[in-house]
Amino acid sequence: MSPADVLDPPAPGSRAPAPVLVPQATVAHRGAWGRLLRSEMRLVFGRRRNIALLSGLAAVPLLLGVVLFVTQDSALGGQGPGFVGRVTGNGLFLVIAALFMCLPFLLPLTIGVASGDAIAGEAQAGTLRYLLAVPVSRTRLLAVKAVAVLTFVGAAVLAIALVALVTGAVLFGLSDITLLSGTTVPLADGLLRVAGVAAYVALSLTGLVAVGLFLSTLTEVPVGAMAATVVVAIVSAVLDTLPQLAVIHPALLTHHWLDVAEFLRVQVDWGVLGQGLAVQGAWVAIFGALAWSRFTTADVTS
């Protein structure tokens, strides 16, 4: 008996099939993508742990601002790494200082948590097999997960920046901004430049998101994927400090992260910023493709 025989319609006179069910439309409804994405967003932003994470990140500029405010008249006032020393003079710098503080560890950790949840978390909970049996095509699911993680990371950067802006304005006031060269530009221009810093920081994290998602497709243990993502960011930063490896520095994931200072030059060199974003684009392309090829072919046995 070949499969073709079996699949043929029954011959006339053979038994009628079981009582007929209402035929169901199996055509995709319009807006199905949006529906799935909204559902995913509700899942990510409705999770208490994720909201706690966002709140924790938002507390960083608050804490930093208060510390600087309390100590500004002491001998240590006006000192500190990065732009910390300039915050007391102009609250606008609190945005940049806070983002700098969160970049090396806290933001990669946020990416690790969100991307670890995305695939490995669903695998561990067993919900992945049910989503795929619904069915959601694996490509669509991965795309929606990527958008959700990127949105969450974007929200984290935005939360830090907004809380920093408000805290800075309340504690130190906002004023015309003095650039690296000593030139002063108006507050409106300064606000734009700070917004540019936040946007660049957010875009600089896309490469690590792709890496995190790829790692998430490799395991059923979300904590493992999370830790590995953080390790990738840290190892990249360490390699970036070794002069012996100068030749590979420009391609490192984290090498261009601090190029945001470009926004504080009189003439912003878009070439420098574009280069940094191009490197991120390459990481996204490579690890996005790896994540896709892994996720669309892997056996789901969890």
Q: Can you tell me which of 66, 76, 79, 129 binds other proteins, judged by CB under 8 A?
A: 129
Q: Which stretch binds other proteins (CB under 8 A): 22-30, 73-81, 177-185, 232-240?
A: 22-30
> With respect to other proteins, which residue has the nearer C-beta, 6 or 246?
6
Q: Which stretch binds other proteins (CB under 8 A): 36-44, 61-69, 157-165, 195-203?
A: 36-44
Q: Which amino acid is at 294?
A: R
Q: Which amino acid is at 50?
A: N
- Which residues contact residue 126 at a Cβ distance below 8 angstroms, ignoring those fewer than 6 apart? 302
Q: Which stretch binds other proteins (CB under 8 A): 24-32, 108-116, 177-185, 256-264?
A: 24-32
Strands 184-185, 177-178: pairing is antiparallel
Token pair recorded at residue 151: 């949105």
Q: How many residues does the chain have?
A: 302
Q: Can you tell me which of 12, 74, 81, 134 binds other proteins, judged by CB under 8 A?
A: 134
Q: Can you tell me which of 12, 46, 81, 182 binds other proteins, judged by CB under 8 A?
A: 46
CA–CA separation, 234 vs 218, rounded Å?
Answer: 20
Are the CB atoms for 185 and 268 separated by under 8 Å?
Answer: no
- Which residues contact residue 95 at a Cβ distance below 8 angstroms, ignoring those fewer than 6 apart? 61, 160, 161, 164, 165, 168, 194, 197, 198
Question: If binding is defined by CB under 8 A, does position 4 make contact with other proteins?
Answer: no
Question: If binding is defined by CB under 8 A, does position 126 make contact with other proteins?
Answer: yes
Question: If binding is defined by CB under 8 A, does position 20 make contact with other proteins?
Answer: yes
> With respect to other proteins, which residue has the nearer C-beta, 75 or 134?
134
CA–CA separation, 282 vs 170, rounded Å?
Answer: 40
Enumerate binding residues for other proteins (CB under 8 A). Answer: 1, 3, 5-7, 9-11, 14-22, 24-29, 31-33, 35-36, 38-39, 43, 46-48, 125-127, 129-137, 140-141, 297, 299-301
